[in-house]
Amino acid sequence: MTLDSVTSYPSSRAYVLKLHRDSGAPPARFAGRLENLATGRQFEFASAAGLLALLLSDLGTISAAEAQSAGDDR
Render pLDDT for 11-49 as a digit per residue (tens, 0 to 9).
888 999 999 988 877 667 889 999 999 889 999 999 989
Full residue range of the structural domain in which residue 61 is found: 13-66
pLDDT higher for 53 or 26?
Answer: 53
Return the closest-CA partner of residue 30 out of 14, 42, 18. 18
The verdict on residue 35 lying in a domain is yes
Q: What is the pLDDT of residue 27?
A: 66
For 57, half-sphere exposure in the C-beta direction (CA atoms, 13 angstrom radius) is 12
For 4, half-sphere exposure in the C-beta direction (CA atoms, 13 angstrom radius) is 5
Q: What is the pLDDT of residue 18?
A: 95
Q: Which helix (H) or strand (E) holds 31?
A: none
d(Cα 30, Cα 22) in Å, to the nearest integer? 8
**DSSP tag of 22:** T
The verdict on residue 1 lying in a domain is no
Number of domains present in the structure of the chain: 1
The verdict on residue 26 lying in a domain is yes
The verdict on residue 8 lying in a domain is no
